[in-house]
Each structure stands twice: as C-alpha cells, then as structure tokens.
Homo-oligomer: A and B are copies of this chain.
Amino acid sequence: MNNGPINNYPFTLKVPEGDDRERHVCGDCGWINYINPKIVAGAVITHGDKFLICRRAIEPRVGYWTIPAGYLEAGEAPDEGAMREAEEEANAKIEIDALLAMYSIKRISQIHMMYRARLLDPNVSAGEESLEVAMVTWDEIPWQDLAFPTITWAFNHYREVVDQISFQPFTNPADSDLAVR
C-alpha cells in the first residue's frame, strides 16, 4: 500500500479542528493527509458466449487469472477507467453496457466498480501487465485460479442478470466470508 505516512516526515496523528477522527497532520504546514478509499474499475467482457480473461504478470497474484481492472486515475470516470484497463491489459476495445456491481473491500479501503461490457473487436492480446489473455466459455473459466474474490463474484453476478437491461448493481455477496462488508 502506498497510503501510509512517510518516514522521517513531520506528520503527527491528531484530530483536526472541526473533524471527528484522527488524521496524519503535517507539523510544519498543517497539511492534512486524508486517506480515502480508492476505486478499482473493471469489466466482465464478452464476445458471443466467451469471456475475456487475463493472466496477471504483476503482483499481487502473479500468474492468476483476472478480468481487466485497475485503479481509477485522477480525472477519469469509472467507465472510462474500465475501458482503459481493457485496452492496457488485453489490447481490447470494449463497449460498456451496464454497471454490474459495486463491491466494498473495506479491509483495504477499495471500492470495486465492475461493468458489463462487450468486446468490439475479437482481436485481443496480452498487454504489459498480462502474461497471456484468453477467450473462454463459462465452463472454461479457471475458477480455482482466479486472482481475487471480486472476480468470482463478478462472473457469478454477470450470469444472474445476463438477460436483464435494467437492474441495480450488485454488492458483496451476503454469504461471502472472504471480504466481509
């Protein structure tokens, strides 16, 4: 994580005036290092009956399979972030269809926004952060080798609304003990 206070810098943990919780405050200039959740944007991407998956070339979970997803950048909308990640990780051009799910991984302060998207061009290939990419049917999804719980959740939630246009985005599965809300 890159959110912690910096060694040797004059931050102290205190409650700023008008606030109700401790923050890292700079003793020199009063700057407050607010730490807020980060957004991860990704997409379940299909072409016909196949799903786009990528094998991770970077930590964490090198070698495991994922869907294109990553940290939202400053000045970016979540759907734009999902499109950028598809391009970066799989050279995939996609069209976003719906907001499939919004998961909260509170332990690490991440909000995962997962979209439903269609692949516009079946030619995909591994980007720098992927070892390889593949188009697989539902039965070929490597369930035991998926990188993160939210990837499993997103696939399963995708299937629940596969024929629906209008639905509320899913949140964390109630029965999950992997990332309690």
Contacts and interface: CB of A to CB of B under 8 A. Distances in A.
Candidate in A2, A37, A79, A111 with the most chain B CB atoms within 10 angstroms: A37
Contacts of A74: 35-37, 109
Interface string A1-42: 010001111000000001011000010110111111111000
A2 B33 contact: yes
A169 B100 CA distance: 10
Assembly stoichiometry (copies): 2
Interface of A: 2, 6-9, 18, 20-21, 26, 28-29, 31-39, 58, 71-79, 88, 98-99, 102, 104, 106-107, 109, 111, 113, 128, 164-169, 171, 181
Given A37-B74, A38-B36, A74-B35, A167 B169 contact: no
